[in-house]
Each structure stands twice: as structure tokens, then as C-alpha cells.
């Protein structure tokens, strides 16, 4: 599925935040690629570095607080040219955001402007990046709303965000992200605030639009069920590092990192409630919590929560090494467990 030259190639990415006590590392030495027509899911608990990675790609880190300290983020643009986003000026990044890269945020009510109509917000990137007239841009906005399944699109284009349902608002943000036909779409937990039925519709819509447009998609989520439905490859993050990566089917059926095993074991399955109630069992859970960025454990940062940890795990950060074709894990004991 992945082309020879990826649309997005992240290498050695390190993102830091400046706090009163000094710098803390939120993303640490991340390598990741996404090919044309491919969906790569970035998964993990809250605080694992997923969203910071996506904001680093977009260069939307809060100025003077967050910054990229090392690494490269190479993007293949529509014209075939390659650019390292880390080295671009703010003005050059503005040309890329909304044009070559579109982004769908987690909560549409916070990403849509409440004082502008839906149509005006979708038309804006078309006018900026394509130089279209107001009338032409609005006509395209209506067409985009139709393409994402919003009925009576012309009337909806004249409405404000609060006048649309949650599902319609999320469809509108997808339409806005796709307004200039980007080569890369970043979806940061786009279904979290939606009920299960609307969530399924949004995922089906993204898959349909990807097939039609051949986009690369970086899908950020904590929901492994969503990953199984939409992604080709999955990268599991923990404390800013990728701890396991590979094809979705391979990682889910044969996980090689204790953290991935714990995430999969904690997923409820159909019929579990009745069976567990009868057996007096509880849903599996990973003990402990994700450590604070200001007090990171030495060695493998998952070791304090890992039932397989030994003293060697606490002495050095494990390498992300091959454990099979296209499958990698950051665990020194993967052969044993």
C-alpha cells in the first residue's frame, strides 16, 4: 500500500516543552512514514505524545513553550517536490497548511469559529490557496458539504456551527480540511466526541474520500477498535516514543511489546460482560499510570508498569528492533514473552 517515496517521512523527531523547572521531552526520537493512499494510526494513552506529534507536523506548537529540538519532517507536496517542514519559515508553512496538509481536530466546536458561517469557513482556504473569487469559493464549499454527506448543503453552508449537530459539524471540519485536495490528512481523534453510530459514518466517509482522492492519512486515536477498522499500519506510542509498529493485522494478532499486549487485553469484547459477571472476573487493565514528563523512569519507561520487567529493563532505553517483516518492537524480552 505504501509508495516507494512516502508522502510523509518523520525521522528522529524530538519535541520539547519549556516549563518552569526546565525543558521536558514530549516526543522522543520518533521515526514514521505514511505513503500515498495509506492510513497509519498513531495510538496510545493520553500523554503518550500522539497529538504532540501531529501538532509538530503542522508546526502548530505554542510559540515560546513548545518547539522541535531535533529531527526532520519531510513532506512530498502536490507538485512532487519534497520539503523538510522543520526548516520552513512561518510564511512557507502557512502556504502548506490547508493546502498540502489538512487537519481534522478532535472537537469541532473548538476548531470551528462560532461567528462565521460554515460556508465561509470552508471557502476561506479555497480563496487563500487557490485565489478563487468569493462566489466560486462558496460554490465549491457547497459541493464539498455535499461530498461529505450533508443534506441540503446550500442551506447548511449559511448556518453557524451551533446550528449543526455534532456529526454534521465534524463532517463540516472534514470538508474544510479537504477543501484544497491535500496530499496528507491528519485526523486527531476525530470521532471521540461522537456516538457510535455517527462514529461509524465518519470512518466510512474518511475511507471513501481516501479511495477517491488517494490521500495519505495519519490517524491519531486511543481507540483500537477504530484502528482495526480504518488503518493499514499502526504505531503504538508510550511516553513520547514508538514502542511497537507494524501492519495492523500482525500487531493485533501477534503483539510483541507488553504495552501493546496490555492495550489489546483491556479492550472489551462482545459477550464479555455476561461471561465476566458469571465468572466473577474484572476487565483487564494496565496497572499504574503514564509517568510525568518531569519525572521519567530510567531505561524502559514502561518497566514500572510491566509484569515482565527485569533489572536490565531499567538500565537502558531499548532499541526499536525488527521482530518480523515490517514489524518492530522496543522490548529486550520480546522473544521470551
Q: What is the pLDDT of residue 1?
A: 46
The interaxial angle of helices 134-147 and 166-177, nearest 10 deg, is 120
Q: What is the mean pLDDT of the chain?
A: 91
Least confident of 39-53, 66-80, 196-210: 196-210
The Cα 29–Cα 235 span in angstroms is 13
Is 64 a residue whose pLDDT tops 80? yes
Q: What is the pLDDT of residue 2?
A: 45
> Cβ distance 75 to 7 under 8 Å?
yes
**Mean per-residue pLDDT, 17-43:** 94
**Three-class SS state of 146:** helix
Strands (E), the chain: 8-19, 22-34, 39-43, 66-76, 82-84, 101-104, 184-188, 216-221, 233-238, 241-247, 321-324, 327-329
> Cβ distance 44 to 220 under 8 Å?
no
Q: What's the CATH number of domain 1-100+183-337, 3.40.50.300, 3.30.565.10, 3.20.20.80, 3.40.50.2300?
A: 3.40.50.300
What are the pLDDT digits (tens) for 84-109? 999 999 999 999 999 999 999 877 77
* Domains of the chain, residue spans: 1-100+183-337, 110-181
Residues whose CB falls within 8 Å of the CB of residue 83, separated by 6 or more in sequence, listed in order? 74, 75, 77, 92, 96
**Mean per-residue pLDDT, 174-189:** 92
Task: Choose among 112, 138, 110: nearest CA to 124.
Answer: 138
> Can you read off the three cell numbers belonging to residue 20?
518552569
The interaxial angle of helices 118-130 and 166-177, nearest 10 deg, is 10
**Mean per-residue pLDDT, 219-233:** 92
Phi, then psi, of 85 in degrees rounded to 5: -65, -25
**Three-class SS state of 5:** coil
Band (pLDDT 50/70/90 cuts) for residue 276 is low
Residue found under cell 509517568: 291
Q: What is the pLDDT of residue 12?
A: 98
Strands 184-188, 216-221: pairing kind: parallel
The Cα 290–Cα 133 span in angstroms is 50
**Three-class SS state of 325:** coil
Q: What is the pLDDT of residue 180?
A: 92
The Cα 253–Cα 225 span in angstroms is 13
Is 36 a residue whose pLDDT tops 80? yes
Amino acid at each position: 500500500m505504501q509508495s516507494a517515496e512516502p508522502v510523509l517521512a518523520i525521522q528522529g523527531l524530538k519535541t520539547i516543552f519549556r516549563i518552569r523547572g526546565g525543558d521536558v521531552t514530549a516526543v522522543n526520537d520518533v521515526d514514521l512514514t505514511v505513503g500515498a493512499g495509506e492510513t497509519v494510526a498513531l495510538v496510545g494513552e493520553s500523554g503518550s505524545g500522539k497529538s504532540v506529534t501531529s501538532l509538530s507536523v503542522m508546526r502548530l506548537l505554542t510559540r515560546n513553550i513548545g518547539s522541535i529540538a531535533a529531527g526532520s519532517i519531510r513532506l512530498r507536496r502536490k507538485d512532487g517536490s519534497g520539503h523538510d517542514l522543520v526548516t520552513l519559515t512561518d510564511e512557507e508553512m502557512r502556504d502548506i497548511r490547508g493546502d498540502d496538509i489538512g487537519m481534522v481536530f478532535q472537537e469541532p466546536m473548538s476548531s470551528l469559529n462560532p461567528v462565521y458561517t460554515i460556508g465561509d469557513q470552508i471557502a476561506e482556504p479555497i480563496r487563500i490557496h487557490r485565489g478563487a473569487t468569493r462566489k466560486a469559493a462558496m460554490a465549491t464549499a457547497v459541493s464539498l458539504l455535499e461530498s461529505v454527506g450533508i443534506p441540503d448543503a446550500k442551506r447548511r453552508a449559511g448556518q453557524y456551527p451551533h446550528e449543526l449537530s455534532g456529526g454534521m459539524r465534524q463532517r463540516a471540519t472534514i470538508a474544510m480540511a479537504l477543501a484544497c485536495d491535500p496530499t496528507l490528512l491528519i485526523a486527531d481523534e476525530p470521532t471521540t466526541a461522537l456516538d457510535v453510530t455517527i462514529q461509524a459514518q465518519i470512518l466510512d466517509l474518511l475511507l471513501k474520500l481516501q479511495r477517491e482522492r488517494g490521500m495519505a492519512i495519519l490517524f491519531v486515536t486511543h481507540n483500537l477498535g477504530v484502528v482495526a477498522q480504518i488503518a493499514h499500519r499502526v504505531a503504538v506510542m508510550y511516553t513520547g516514543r514508538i514502542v511497537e509498529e507494524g501492519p495492523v493485522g500482525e500487531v493485533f494478532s501477534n503483539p510483541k511489546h507488553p504495552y501493546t499486549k496490555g492495550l489489546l487485553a483491556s479492550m472489551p469484547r462482545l459477550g464479555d460482560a455476561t461471561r465476566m459477571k458469571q465468572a466473577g472476573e474484572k476487565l483487564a487493565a494496565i496497572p499504574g499510570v503514564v509517568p510525568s514528563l518531569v519525572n521519567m523512569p530510567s531505561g524502559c519507561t514502561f518497566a514500572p508498569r510491566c509484569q515482565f520487567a527485569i533489572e536490565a529493563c531499567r538500565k537502558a532505553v531499548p532499541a526499536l528492533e525488527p521482530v518480523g517483516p515490517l514489524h518492530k518492537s522496543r522490548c529486550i524480552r520480546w522473544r521470551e514473552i
